[in-house]
Homo-oligomer: A and B are copies of this chain.
Amino acid sequence: MSENTEHPTNLEYKGRHLDFHSKLGWEYVSRSNCTGVVGIIAMTEDHQLVLVEQFRLPLSGRVLELPAGLIGDRGDETLEQAAHRELLEETGYEADSITPLFAGPTSAGLTDEVIQLVQARGLVRNHPGGGVEGESITVHVVPVRSLGAFITDFEQAGGLVDFKVRLASHLIGDLS
């Protein structure tokens, strides 16, 4: 937008994974190690949603999320390739097809991160999942009809639930 192109963006601090920028008094971070982020709505043939639970260090607690991951952090790959890879690594499911749904910014005030949501169809479980080195992921395969209760129980046990899990629980009725 023309209102900002004439002003420079300053790189204030360069971390290993995140760059800290400032511009016109605003501050935000960018991921420096990927070309994008993908989140996956994966429902099994028998109407169960595949979710992941992991300890998130910034929040010092466990978070319930959609399977998700960085695109291109380990070499060139497309959105679809990253979705297949992350779904398999995190949950053990192989998908027959990946269909883009829509994208959205995660926190427009403090990062330029945008997550592309996709739908994974034709799931076949290959292994138990759990993620790659450094990740410690618990996979939950939850019947759609009991998702509300599952979310409530997870929060009552002290966990946090990503908004996109709630969004997926409403969307899956519309997805075929």
In the bound complex, residues from chain B placing their C-beta under 8 Å from that of A75 are: none
**Chain A 60-77 residues near chain B, CB threshold 8 A:** 60-63, 65
Instruction: Pick from B20, B23, B56, B105: contact of A108, CB below 8 A.
Output: B56
- Closest chain B residue to A134, Cβ basis: B25
A157 at interface by CB-CB < 8 Å: no
Q: Min CB distance, A82 to chain B, in Å?
A: 15
Instruction: Pick from B4, B25, B115, B160: contact of A60, CB below 8 A.
Output: B4
Q: Min CB distance, A90 to chain B, in Å?
A: 13
Q: Min CB distance, A174 to chain B, in Å?
A: 9
A58 at interface by CB-CB < 8 Å: yes
In the bound complex, residues from chain B placing their C-beta under 8 Å from that of A13 are: 12-13, 20
A45 at interface by CB-CB < 8 Å: no
Name, among A15, A16, A27, A160, the residue most crowded by chain B CB atoms within 10 Å (CB to CB): A27
A3 at interface by CB-CB < 8 Å: yes
Interface 9-residue window, one of A92-100, A124-132, A138-146, A161-169: A161-169
In the bound complex, residues from chain B placing their C-beta under 8 Å from that of A1 are: 55, 60-62
Name, among A18, A22, A102, A108, the residue most crowded by chain B CB atoms within 10 Å (CB to CB): A108
